Amino acid sequence: MTNSTKKEVENKLISIVKKDDQDYICLIDMVRDEDCTDHINYWMRNRNTVEFIGLWETLNNPNFKLQNSRLTFQLLLTI
């Protein structure tokens, strides 16, 4: 079962989703500033982040197909 709540942290409302006794926080809510700068978008295009996601998926997702994802990762880095 999944439920959602919001908690105020340092004058920001942060979404928290609880699923299977695990809490997940919204990174976008955490980094959003007054100008709504898209920090997550910049972070996701960073080469180190893309390489980390590929490694994490390889280790933790048995359905992950690295060959199919290489082109996607390359496209992310060129945007």
- Higher confidence at residue 2 or residue 76? 2
Which pLDDT value is given to residue 24?
92
What SS3 class is residue 20? coil
**Residue 58's pLDDT band (boundaries 50, 70, 90)?**
confident
Which pLDDT value is given to residue 70?
61
Contacts of 63 (CB under 8 A, 6+ apart): none
Which pLDDT value is given to residue 74?
63
The Cα 38–Cα 41 span in angstroms is: 5
60 has pLDDT over 80? yes
What is the token pair recorded at 11?
A: 């004058």
Q: What is the pTM of this model?
A: 0.51
Contact 13, 6 (CB under 8 A): yes
Which pLDDT value is given to residue 79?
53
